[in-house]
Amino acid sequence: MAQTTPSAEAHLKDLTRLVEKAGEERFEAEFIKAVKDTDFKLRASESGPPPRRSS
């Protein structure tokens, strides 16, 4: 796994909270809309939907 910086870890923590508040499906839909016309590319390992967390 790649090393992360403290700022990247904080960013991931913020995104995780946002997903929890908005719900995974809505977050995914909004994320797709947000990056639609950009050159953002998911890594090959991230090309499918993210794995669902168990409750």
6 or 48, greater pLDDT: 6
pLDDT in tens, 7-50: 888 998 998 998 899 998 998 888 889 888 998 877 655 555 55
pLDDT value for 13:
92
What's the rounded Cα separation, in Å, for the pair 22 and 33? 15
Q: Where does the chain show beta strands of DSSP type E? A: none
Identify the pLDDT of residue 21.
Answer: 92
Asked whether 19 and 27 are in contact (CB, 8 A), the reply is yes
Contact by Cβ (8 Å): 26, 4: no
Per-residue confidence at 54, pLDDT binned at 50, 70, 90? low
- What residue ranges do the domains of the chain occupy? 1-34
